Amino acid sequence: MTNKLSIIALVAIVAVGAGLVGYASSTSEVVSPATSFASSALVSGQMTLELRDNEGNLKAYRQTDNVITANGENCVAKALFTPSKYATGVASSGTTCVGAITVPFSFIALGNGTTQAQNTDNNMQTQHTITGLEIRSGTVTFTNSTGLGTPSTASIVSIANTFTSAGTTTTVSEAGLFNGTSASTNGMFAHKTFTPITVNSGDSLAVTWTINIGNSTSLN
């Protein structure tokens, strides 16, 4: 009888222990749904480059995600919630966006820097000033989000420009998105380095920057 009672007691202890383990596991996973519903980055960007010769033949193609800089992220936040801070400033001020924010981030710069782009970048590594490849304002187009509380596409901003080189043969291996033409006074929104593209005189380089605001999942 004693042995039977001991066995019954042991089974009960094991059962309770198993129940406690199961309970602990379920409570520790309460956070998981919040993690699984987490939104993707509010602002993200991609860039494509198409190089063609003077007869329109495709010579090179690049497509890549880019780095949205800290300056770009800060300017977005300030423009949304404190418009008075979205004004002329310098990188060291800490209170305003870098550059003369009287124009949008629609200027595309090219260069031949090869060091990987960083979130802390403010300028190009080696910016091109070759005729036809100098920093230029792009054409900006918008595509509105169709969210309405259901899975949707993001709001999309596209900045595009086609550069035609009139200089000597050179390479292009980096691109930046700015809010003006002076690197010393204007802020960088996005930056990316990529496998070098050789550009000859007469070649055209079509650059399209796509900025996504939001993501494809709504939490409403």
- pLDDT tens digits along 40-94: 457 788 899 999 999 999 999 999 988 888 888 877 777 777 666 555 544 444 4
Tokens of 171: 């390479």
Instruction: With beta carbons less than 8 A apart as the criterion, state whether 46 and 175 touch.
Output: no
pLDDT of residue 171: 96
Instruction: With beta carbons less than 8 A apart as the criterion, state whether 106 and 137 touch.
Output: yes
Residue owning tokens 């820097």: 113
155 Cβ contact list (under 8 Å, min separation 6): 142, 143, 144, 145, 212, 213, 214
From first to last of the 220 residues of the chain, give the pLDDT tens digit: 444 434 333 333 333 333 333 333 332 233 333 333 334 457 788 899 999 999 999 999 999 988 888 888 877 777 777 666 555 544 444 455 655 555 678 899 999 999 999 988 888 999 999 999 999 999 999 888 776 554 456 788 999 999 999 988 999 999 999 887 776 666 788 999 999 999 999 999 999 999 888 764 444 3
pLDDT of residue 184: 60
Side chain identity at residue 57, one-letter code:
N
Q: What is the largest CA-CA distance in the chain?
A: 101
Distance CA(113)–CA(198), nearest Å, equals 13
